[in-house]
Structure 1
Amino acid sequence: MLADSTGGAYPPHMGSNVTRGQHYVWRHYLEAWETDGLLSVSRHGAVPFSSSAAGIGKQRDFYRLPRLRPQDVAFADLIISNMQITDEAKRQAREWFDTAALVKTVVSHFAGRAMPEEVRSALNAFEIQAEEKIHAGIEDDATPLLCRLRRGDSSFWREDKEAAAFSFFISLQHLRTKRGAVKLFESFSAYDTDGVAERTWPYLKFAMASNMGFSFYQERARWSLNVVSAGGQVQFVTADQPTMNLIPPLDHNGIALFYPLSPTRALIMEHQDNSPIAPASGVMTDTQVDALNTRLAGYAHEQVYGSDRDYLADLVKRIA
């Protein structure tokens, strides 16, 4: 049997009902780069290979929820308390930790006695799949909005329900990635020897995405969703960190979020107080597209994806 993170073991029958290979890059999103079911992938700058979107951007048990200790909850509560948001927003941010409290309640119920096999199996399955199912629900809500953006239609930004859904979705896409987690853990490594950041991040990222998304939504009259098109031969690539801030994050509005939508279209989310990046025509030259591709490929964690294998090979070679 396979050992779990708490010293127990996964029952041998559990694997047939639990998704173990979990995508940290949305599969539906990557399918836009497929031709006849395949897209090109470069891993760590190597020569590109062909794969389906189903076979890449994933890791075994990537979303498994760790069990929190009292110091973890105290750390997370301190982070949320210091967020520049309303008390109600802080309350909602703390609700993301209800999942951890539920697991703790179940475990505590069986303290000092053997947990029945069927309970332990269900609890393990829940810890592995709960976050992935949350992402699936958020992505289901975002799918029609992504389709509209790929058609060049960002008019939903004026619609309250749709704008709120997209604000949270794009914020979570920015924070949920493997790169985001690794960079956070590296930044804490000098003084977090107990792993508090790593244990709380699966929960905190939702609280932070809620905070970031609410800011976008509340101030959306000053934010523009600019859909740009690749006007020449060079197409947009994407990566396992598909969102990237194009400007220095020096203040509250220090964001120009770049998000490739397909080989031919990309989103640049910009604040009206910043110098515009998206061309007024909405069409980018090969030079402009290549410059964005170069930045995104250099920003990627492990993998870069494209529809043009020859171009992708040249791109990763240039940034090596």
Structure 2
Amino acid sequence: MDAKYFEAKRKHHHVWADYLKRWSADGINVYHSTPTRKIKLDSVRGLAMDLDFYRVTHLAEYDVKVILQWSSRAAEDLQYAHRSYLNDFLRFQRASEIYKGSRRKIEVIEKSIKALKSNLMENLHSAHERDASPILKDLAGGKLSCLYESGSIIKFTTFLGHQFARTKNFKDRTFHAFREDTVESVEFLRSMKNSWWFLSYMFGMNLGRELYLFRSGYTHSLLFNNTGVSFITSDQPAINVHPQVWETSSQPEFLDLYYPISPRYAYIICESNIFIGGVTEVTVEQVVQLNQKMAARSSSLIVGSDYESIEEFISLVGQNR
């Protein structure tokens, strides 16, 4: 068996490192903010990454109950898909328990279990990235026609759904919204934290399906930036920029999903009428507003193509987490 099969991929990027390279002049290093509000030029490999972020944990009966409780809010076909993925992980968990109960020590099995705990969810995200890679490459070159090809739009919306839900920032925001004022709520939140590696994937599935099935109700625009101000991105690169989100603290009812693809191109899926659809050239005022929202919604990291693009927006980092 290939030795790579036994390598536990513990460095889990919740923002795709290859995506961040589009802001790099040399294909490796980018200008970015630090948690202490400094600006550095550094490799993308250490950015938006946490050790064991998607590592599979043991799911107790209560954890499964909480997952299915969240799943029950989705459409029936999605619930079926959720259970299918969940059952795959539960079969792996059961097989690991059987092996552990045997009290045998078989090196190849020990290594396999260790690697799979680190790699199973990471591999799922990597598969979505591979599906989206040629699409993003075309969009970064201004070729909107790539989304007219069969199967492309569902691959793209699925990728966007997961990129929205898989970040550490989204995880922290979700948990921060929960009140721990009863024993039940404390237990419920503890369970969510334990199974977040699966819940976040499930939430990403839900959003990706919504964007695909109801795509005719949204305006899709590839934003072309020919101004002197580049698009920036962050540790939460897919964000809701609908005006309602920034005017009220209540749960938003509408979605304008914005995703910068490169310093010159971005994609937005709108319920509002802020863009007309198709390839749309943006003004410098629009670029600045989108960059402001990107920085405000970030946790601690914004990424740009030059020092000045970070310096202009670094004071806004994390203001609207």
Q: For each residue in 1:98-124, what CA deviation from the matched residue of structure 2 results, as whole angstroms up to 9, or x when unmatched?
A: 242123212331354425252233212
| 8 Å contact kept, 1:65–1:127 | yes
Deviation at 1:32, TM superposition (A): 0.1
Q: For each residue in 1:172-213, what CA deviation from the matched residue of structure 2 results, as whole angstroms up to 9, or x when unmatched?
A: 110000111112222235123461111222112222222222
| 8 Å contact kept, 1:268–1:278 | no
TM-score by length of 1: 0.86
Structure 1 unaligned runs (5+)? 1-12
For 2:152 and 2:37, the matched residues in 1 are separated by 39
The aligned residue for residue 241 of structure 1 is 236
| 8 Å contact kept, 1:240–1:300 | yes
The aligned residue for residue 38 of structure 1 is 29
RMSD: 2.6
The aligned residue for residue 93 of structure 1 is 82
The aligned residue for residue 154 of structure 1 is 144
Structure 2 unaligned runs (5+)? none
Give structure 1 regions of 4+ aligned residues with deviation exceeding 3 angstroms. 13-16, 110-113, 156-160, 248-253, 277-281, 317-320
* 1:120 and 2:135 matched: no
**Matching of residues 64-213 of structure 1 within 5 Å:** 64-83=55-74, 85=75, 87-110=76-99, 112-118=101-107, 119-188=109-178, 190=180, 191-193=185-187, 195-213=190-208
| 8 Å contact kept, 1:41–1:50 | yes
**Matching of residues 206-221 of structure 1 within 5 Å:** 206-221=201-216
For 2:49 and 2:59, the matched residues in 1 are separated by 24
* 1:58 and 2:49 matched: yes
The aligned residue for residue 258 of structure 2 is 258
Deviation at 1:287, TM superposition (A): 2.4
User: What letter matches 1:79 in structure 2?
Assistant: W
Deviation at 1:57, TM superposition (A): 1.7
Q: For each residue in 1:294-319, what CA deviation from the matched residue of structure 2 results, as whole angstroms up to 9, or x when unmatched?
A: 11111101211111112312321366
| 8 Å contact kept, 1:14–1:125 | no
User: What letter matches 2:105 in structure 1?
Assistant: P
TM-score by length of 2: 0.86
The aligned residue for residue 8 of structure 2 is 18
Deviation at 1:228, TM superposition (A): 1.0
Q: For each residue in 1:212-236, what CA deviation from the matched residue of structure 2 results, as whole angstroms up to 9, or x when unmatched?
A: 2222212222223211122221101
For 2:4 and 2:277, the matched residues in 1 are separated by 52
For 2:144 and 2:251, the matched residues in 1 are separated by 26
* Cα pair distance change 1:214/1:130, threshold 3 Å: same
| 8 Å contact kept, 1:94–1:207 | no
Q: For each residue in 1:245-276, what CA deviation from the matched residue of structure 2 results, as whole angstroms up to 9, or x when unmatched?
A: 012368997110110110111111113xx232
| 8 Å contact kept, 1:228–1:278 | no
- SS of 1:152's equivalent in the other structure is coil
User: What letter matches 1:73 in structure 2?
Assistant: V
For 1:177 and 1:240, the matched residues in 2 are separated by 7
User: What letter matches 1:296 in structure 2?
Assistant: M
The aligned residue for residue 10 of structure 1 is none
* Cα pair distance change 1:46/1:188, threshold 3 Å: same
For 2:191 and 2:251, the matched residues in 1 are separated by 27
* Cα pair distance change 1:233/1:201, threshold 3 Å: same
- SS of 1:282's equivalent in the other structure is strand
- SS of 2:111's equivalent in the other structure is helix
The aligned residue for residue 289 of structure 2 is 291
Deviation at 1:290, TM superposition (A): 1.5
Size of the aligned set, in residue pairs, is 304
